[in-house]
Each structure stands twice: as structure tokens, then as C-alpha cells.
């Protein structure tokens, strides 16, 4: 399974590295994708850990992947949902019956961009009202609606 994990400045480290670790242990090809100016991306929080992504967004062949992951973290999830290329890729995955996983504030990519309106999603409680604008918020730790997988936070990563 080929997986792209989108990274933007302000990402939540656990919401990136937990799924990366588990997927790699299962034999998946996991590629961390920088959506910024270069391969180096800063995490959220006071530490501002800098990690080096595997590839730039402009260099991926997203049509060959099976799964994309949109992590949370502030302001990382805002940077991702406002990135037209990321949104277009997520839309492609939704339109082509491929998997999209998102955690914490990440699921706002659906509501902010009017994608798959009416579906059931979970997310961090801080973004509940935003999700409820055009989706059904489900108050559970993890939720699967078709090929859309959402979680409330780092504990569900």
C-alpha cells in the first residue's frame, strides 16, 4: 500500500509518526510529503521539531498511491486545508474511491473545502462546529465512513 503523509509547518508529530510507524511495520510504502518551500518542516508546540520530508508535493505521482493522510496540529491543519494542491489531491482520492485518513483538526479539510458534504466525520472537539456546517459530527474516537477514516486526536493516530 503506497501512502502519502502531507506535512505542513505546525503539524502534530504523534499524528504523523504513529501512523508512519504502524504502516511501515505492516509493509506499506510510506512517503512523507512537504507542502512547504523545502523538505524541512517544523512541528507544532513549543519544541518546533524540524523533520526532513522524503519529497516535495510537486514531485509526487499521487495517482499511484492508495492512501493519503492529513494530520492535525495547529496551524498545520489550516496550512493543509488552504493548500490548493493538497485539496485537489484529496478530492481526486475521494472521487476515485481511494482512502483518505485525517486526524484532529485535519478533517476540516472536508468542511472548509465543501468535500463529501453530509458524510459522518469525527475530529477534535475544538473544530466540531466547523465540521457540523456541512457534515455530521460523530462523537467517537475514530470513525470510518466508506474510505474516509477520521480520528479525534493524537491518541487515535
Residue 100: give the domain boundaries.
2-156
Q: Which residues in the chain come in under a pLDDT of 50?
A: none
Q: Which residues of 88-108 are buried (b: 16+ CB within 10 A; e: fewer)?
A: ebbbebbeeebbbbbbbbbbb
* Contact residues for 130 (Cβ-Cβ < 8 A; gap 6+): 108, 111, 112
Q: What is the pLDDT of residues 30-45, one digit of tens each?
A: 999 999 999 999 999 7
pLDDT at 45: 78
Report the chain's terminal Cα–Cα distance, integer Å. 18
* pTM for this model (two decimals): 0.96
Q: Are 143 and 135 in contact (CB under 8 A)?
A: no
**Closest listed residue to residue 19, CA positions, set 96, 72, 57:** 72
Q: What is the pLDDT of residues 136-156, one digit of tens each?
A: 999 999 999 999 999 998 877
CATH code of the domain in which 103 resides: 3.40.50.880
| Domains held by the chain: number | 1
Amino acid at each position: 500500500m503506497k501512502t502519502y503523509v502531507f506535512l505542513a509547518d505546525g503539524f502534530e508529530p504523534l499524528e504523523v509518526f504513529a501512523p508512519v510507524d504502524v504502516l511501515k511495520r505492516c509493509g506499506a510504502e510510506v512517503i512523507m510529503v512537504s507542502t512547504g518551500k523545502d523538505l524541512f518542516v517544523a512541528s507544532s508546540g513549543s519544541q518546533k521539531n524540524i523533520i526532513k520530508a522524503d519529497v516535495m508535493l510537486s514531485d509526487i505521482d499521487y495517482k499511484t498511491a492508495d492512501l493519503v493522510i492529513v494530520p492535525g496540529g495547529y496551524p498545520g491543519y489550516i496550512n493543509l486545508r488552504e493548500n490548493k494542491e493538497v485539496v485537489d489531491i484529496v478530492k481526486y482520492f475521494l472521487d476515485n474511491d481511494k482512502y483518505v485518513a485525517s486526524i484532529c483538526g485535519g478533517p476540516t479539510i472536508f468542511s472548509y473545502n465543501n468535500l463529501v458534504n453530509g458524510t459522518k466525520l469525527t475530529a477534535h472537539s475544538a473544530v466540531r462546529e466547523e465540521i457540523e456546517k456541512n457534515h455530521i459530527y460523530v462523537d467517537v474516537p475514530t470513525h470510518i465512513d466508506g474510505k474516509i477514516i477520521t480520528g479525534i486526536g493524537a491518541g487515535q493516530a
